[in-house]
Amino acid sequence: TNQQFLSQQEKRESSARSYPRRLPLAIQKAEGICVTDMNGKQFIDCLAGAGTLALGHNHPVIRQAIEGVLASYVPLHSLDLTTPVKEAFVDEVFASLPESFAKKAKIHFCGPTGADAVEAAVKLVKTATGNRAMLSFQGGYHGSTHGALSLTGTTDPKKRIHALIPDTHFLPYPYEYRCPFGIGKDGHRVNSTYLESLLDDPESGLVKPAGIIVEVVQGEGGSIPAPVEWLKELRRMTSERNIPLIIDEVQTGIGRTGKMFAFEHAGIEPDVLVLSKAIGGSLPLSVVLYDRKLDQWEPGAHIGTFRGNQMAMATGRATLQYIKENQVPKHVHELGQYVKDQLSSIQSSMRSIGDVRGRGLMIGVEIIDPRKQPNAIGSYPAYGELAKAIQRHCFERGLILEVGGRFSSVIRFLPPLIITREQLDDVLERFYDATVQAEI
């Protein structure tokens, strides 16, 4: 039963395991948007492998892709040597990019994790510019390795680890609910003007960086979308100063936000694009794509054994094809709007929901403590304990949701992109019941 598996896990696995603590689940099988535990109970999975499973669990096109690789006898692992499976994947990736970026881009296969691709991106821009400082954003998440963790704007995972990368600076992200620099249209301008003054004022402590890394929608930080005007300004100020802009689309990429890539919402392009999660179509894969002008690497500058997982390339290609052929981004955009509208109406009857936000199917509900005093811009203190209680009540009702954000106070909806409106209604109903229950 579930309990037997969980107690074995508790005995044998490390204290650093994370998800099982809040989602005590031993999974027997999974299909579509659902997983079934060892006791036969079904859950709707709105965590979807932390945003990885764009097509849900065990989608037929994913299974076919795996079977195709097995039938073809290509090597399952090929270092970074090329194969027909790999070439077909690269073709598909380039065909998915906006044309002007595709024309100038080169691809590099990384570790297979998002963090490893972030490491590669940082090494790339450091090598190309000769600069050492890196700029990142408060609340951003870029991974768990030393370099990627250095760029991650959350203190908790860092506080017992010394010797993170020096010369890493954090800038304010336009977190509209809490950040005074993020409010309203003019607020975006205030925020970007402030960033510009930090970059230009020698007294600010910022030296010219090797690069700036940003998420278009902060994921782990609490599903916080950056306003389009702010992104445009960020692009302008980095272009004018020749600072490579690294866009980390590990979580937002491949249709999640209602466009193939989230930067397309702002009509901008990165200098370096970091992709993982959904690009592997359920299996481990990560790449960086970058302006060929930055390609000043020596051979072997970023290596690693597992950069040639043919199955992941085949499932990644199948995912990209399915998304394009079935206009998944359009579906995601429409459903995202629908969920936000529904959640906003739930918000009006719930005292503890401070904010509903997101882009596409990357949605956050910020749980607040309405008994406390609001700050100067009217936002209430975060209430992480209540968010976790809501998560627990959802879990009891057969709904898996993630809690994130800097104060662990944001309920995050990250369902598979193929979820239907009817299934979402079911999700919303369970979430509503759980929130009513938790608020009591």
Contact between 220 and ligand PMP by CB under 6 A: the answer reads: yes
Contact between 113 and ligand PMP by CB under 6 A: the answer reads: yes
Closest CA to 155 of 413, 412, 408: 408
Sequence-distant (≥ 6) Cβ neighbours of residue 258 within 8 angstroms: 265, 329, 330, 332, 333, 336, 359, 360, 361
**CA pair distance 351, 46, nearest whole angstrom:** 24
Residue whose tokens read 């199917």: 361
DSSP 3-state assignment of 275? strand
Contact between 403 and ligand PMP by CB under 6 A: the answer reads: no
Contact between 143 and ligand PMP by CB under 6 A: the answer reads: yes
Contact between 251 and ligand PMP by CB under 6 A: the answer reads: yes
Site for ligand PMP in 116-135 (CB under 6 A): 118
Contact between 50 and ligand PMP by CB under 6 A: the answer reads: yes
Q: In what order do the strands lie in the sheet with 134-137?
A: 105-109, 287-291, 272-275, 245-248, 211-214, 134-137, 168-171
Measured from the CB atom, the residue of 288 and 318 that comes closer to ligand PMP is: 288
Contact between 174 and ligand PMP by CB under 6 A: the answer reads: no
Residue 217 · residue 255 · CB < 8 Å: no
Q: Partners of 42 in the beta sheet? A: 36
Contact between 248 and ligand PMP by CB under 6 A: the answer reads: yes
Residue 221 · residue 252 · CB < 8 Å: no
Closest CA to 220 of 395, 414, 428, 26: 414
Closest CA to 279 of 104, 117, 155: 117
Sequence-distant (≥ 6) Cβ neighbours of residue 173 within 8 angstroms: 137, 138, 139, 140, 153, 179, 182, 218, 221, 224, 226
- The minimum distance between CB 152 and ligand PMP, in angstroms, equals 8
Measured from the CB atom, the residue of 142 and 406 that comes closer to ligand PMP is: 142
Measured from the CB atom, the residue of 199 and 414 that comes closer to ligand PMP is: 414
Q: What is the dihedral of CA 143, 148, 151, 156, to 10 degrees?
A: 50
Residue 358 · residue 400 · CB < 8 Å: no
Contact between 283 and ligand PMP by CB under 6 A: the answer reads: no
Contact between 219 and ligand PMP by CB under 6 A: the answer reads: yes
Amino acid at 76: L
Among 114, 187, 211, 308, contact with ligand PMP (rule: CB under 6 A): 114
Among 250, 262, 382, 411, contact with ligand PMP (rule: CB under 6 A): 250
Contact between 6 and ligand PMP by CB under 6 A: the answer reads: no
Measured from the CB atom, the residue of 187 and 404 that comes closer to ligand PMP is: 404
Which range, of 61-69, 108-116, 261-269, 411-419, touches ligand PMP by CB under 6 A? 108-116
Measured from the CB atom, the residue of 74 and 268 that comes closer to ligand PMP is: 268
Which range, of 190-198, 225-233, 245-253, 397-405, touches ligand PMP by CB under 6 A? 245-253
- The minimum distance between CB 251 and ligand PMP, in angstroms, equals 4
Contact between 233 and ligand PMP by CB under 6 A: the answer reads: no
Angle between helices 84-96 and 310-325 (to 10 degrees): 40
Measured from the CB atom, the residue of 114 and 416 that comes closer to ligand PMP is: 114
Structure tokens at 121: 């991106």
| Local structure of residue 227 (DSSP, 8 states) | P
Tell me the site size for ligand PMP, rule CB under 6 A: 15
Query: Nearest residue by C-beta to ligand PMP?
Result: 114
Site for ligand PMP in 197-216 (CB under 6 A): 215
Binding site for ligand PMP (CB under 6 A): 50, 113-115, 118, 141-143, 215, 219-220, 248, 250-251, 276
